[in-house]
Amino acid sequence: MKHFFIPILLYLSVYSTVYAQKEKLNIIVFIADDVSWDDIGCYGNTQVKTPNIDKLAKEGLKFDNFYLTASSCSPSRNSIITGRCPHNTGAAELHTSPPLDMVSFPEVLRNNNYYSVLAGKFHMGPYARRGFDVMYEGHKDNGDGGEESWVSSLKKRPKNKPFFMWFASYDAHREWGPNEFSGTHQPSQLQPPFYLSNGDETKADLAKYYDEIKRFDYYIGEVVHELKTQKELDNTLIIIMSDNGRPFPHSKTRVNDRGMKTPFVMHWPNGIINKDVSSESLISAVDIAPTLLTLAGIESPDQFQGHSFAPLLIDPEQHFRNYLFAEHNWHDYEAHERMVRNKNYMYILNSRPMQPQNGPADAVGSPSFKELEILKDQGKLSAIQADVFMVPRPYEELYDYSRDPLQLLNVASLPEYAETLKSMRETLNQWMNETGDNIPENLTKDWYLKEAGLIKTEFHNIRGEMPGESLNATKNNAKGVF
């Protein structure tokens, strides 16, 4: 009986925190473009300079196992704001849009008297525009990094309404040029991740990437300063996250931690009880929408497939999800992968094992990729560096977090893991069946040549069948395995 009452008391505590305030909760989501979870200082990266994010994490709550549903921009963002799996949004592939009847959580907030603003990158489709009173789109309004309308939009807001701000930078998406923080990170002082080359071109590439993260961090600091000036900081929930992994080989479009894991920091002086702490709980991006509505005291629509993790603001050590799920569908190249992760294991199903995983076209055209190609030609690649060129790939992959937290050793073929492999396979199949996912024969093919950057193929601009399309997945609201 005691265990029954604990979650109820936690929910009541969260609700009372919200309703005890004189005004409704304000919400700001900062979402970076193509930034990996471990490229922020508070997540252990000692090379990148992110003092403002690090300070908010120290004063708030940091999540160490927060996963996206797609390591690809528009599928990931649509999944976040609809609280739905990519194949259930009808926009599982890059540059596709959900149907107009899809509901987003900004729209629900706006329909409940919130003043709602988008400033920066959009990339989500016509349905999502209903969620915003004002939209600052394009570089003219937002500047090179996408952040220059953030503070001004706060200043222009009506003062008689709670506000929701979707502050979406272009940082740190390729191509990157000079900015006011260029040179903050010196290539000679950087050590690239072990799966990249340690060459000069890769270091220079990484330095420019870090410089854009620095710009993202700077403007977060400017927004925090404005919130203090308006005396709104204490009553504003700030979230800092990314839409997918860094635009380098081995990261963006991958379904492992390097692609799917996002930094996730929550700062809310009036609402987060335990500060300067981390939560190890497994949480999915589809859980963001119902959580924000819970904290705002608003009922979630049936379309949301996620679950509210609001109780973790009170008790970060509380168990939440048993399973996380993610997808890799077309992003420049033909693909169909599905991933399930529990506390101890990650299982990956790859229905296109003859496709190498070079990364998206912008990563393939990068200096970092070219240095890996040089090492390949010289026969000097390490086993993990060579992974991006490997064909065929395993149809199934299984990783044991207790032995291999970086997902380097595929143990799917080892006899001692046979039962675990079977269990994870069955869990993924159950989730796919319940949520209306499938593996179409006529998937969208490669729009660009492999290992060649942006050289178009004969299939360019031709779409195949979307996963879940034949099963009417956009009308399927099943939450699936939890």
Taking residues 88-102, report their average pLDDT.
98
The answer to whether the Cα torsion of 429, 431, 433, 439 is positive or negative is: negative
User: Whose CA is closest to 90, among 416, 405, 431, 463?
Assistant: 463
SS3 265: strand
β-strand 163-168 against 115-120: which pairing, if any?
A: parallel
Looking at the domain 26-314, which fold is it?
Alkaline Phosphatase, subunit A (3.40.720)
Once rounded to an integer, what is the mean pLDDT over residues 357-372? 96
Burial of 22 (0-12, 13-18, 19+ CB in 10 A): exposed
CA dist 380 → 65, 252, 386 (Å): 33, 24, 9
Single-letter code of the amino acid located at 323? Y
Max CA pair span of the chain: 66
Q: Are 242 and 262 in contact (CB under 8 A)?
A: yes
Q: What is the mean pLDDT of the segment spanning 461-479?
A: 98
- Give the pLDDT confidence of 157-181 residue by residue, as tens digits: 999 999 999 999 999 999 998 899 9
Domain-wise residue ranges, the chain? 26-314, 326-475
Q: How far apart are CA 433 and CA 448, in angstroms?
A: 32
Q: Say yes or no to pLDDT of 10 above 50.
A: no
Residue 475 token pair: 């009308």
Higher pLDDT among residues 126 and 6, named by residue = 126
- CA 378-381-386 angle, to 5 degrees, is 125
**Which residue(s) pair with 61 in the sheet?**
266, 277
443, amino acid identity = L
pLDDT of residue 185: 98
- 156 pLDDT tier (thresholds 50, 70, 90): very high
Each residue's pLDDT tens digit, 23-54: 799 999 999 999 999 999 999 999 999 999 99
Is 54 in contact with 42 (CB distance < 8 Å)? Answer: yes
Amino acid letter for position 182: S
Give the Cβ contact number of residue 427 at 10 Å.
18
Please say whether the beta carbons of 358 and 369 come within 8 A. Answer: yes
Q: What angle do CA 352, 356, 362 make, to 5 degrees?
A: 115
Q: Residue 11 above 70 pLDDT?
A: no
* Chain CA centroid to CA 388, Å: 21
Q: State mean pLDDT over 293-308.
A: 97
Specify the pairing of strand 264-267 against strand 163-168: unpaired
The confidence score (pLDDT) of residue 22 equals 53
- Tens digits of residue pLDDT in 381-398: 999 999 999 999 999 999
Say which amino acid occupies 289. A
Average pLDDT of the residues in 447-465? 92
User: Which helix (H) or strand (E) covers residue 426, if one does?
Assistant: helix 418-435
pLDDT band at residue 3 under the 50/70/90 scheme: very low
| pTM of this prediction exceeds 0.85 | yes
What are the tens digits of pLDDT across the range 111-150? 999 999 999 999 999 999 999 999 999 899 999 999 999 9
| 249, HSE (Cβ side, Cα atoms, 13 Å) | 31
Q: Does 302 have pLDDT greater than 90?
A: yes
Residue 330: exposed, middle, or buried by beta-carbon count in 10 A (0-12, 13-18, 19+)?
buried
Asked if 446 and 457 touch (Cβ cutoff 8 Å), the reply is yes
**CA 189 to each of CA 47, 77, 171, 221, 454: distance values in angstroms, whole numbers, following the listed order:** 8, 34, 22, 25, 31
CB 263 within 8 A of CB 242: yes
The neighbour count for residue 230, using CB atoms within 10 Å, is 14
Phi/psi for 318 (5° steps) reads -65, 140
Mean pLDDT of the chain: 94
3-state secondary structure (DSSP) of residue 357 = coil
The enclosing H or E element of 81 equals: helix 73-82
Residue 44, Cβ neighbours under 10 Å: how many?
10
Higher pLDDT: 19 or 344? It is: 344
pLDDT at 447 over 70: yes
The band of 272, judged by pLDDT with boundaries at 50, 70 and 90, is confident
Find the mean pLDDT for residues 55-84: 98
Question: Percent of the chain scored above 90 by pLDDT?
Answer: 92
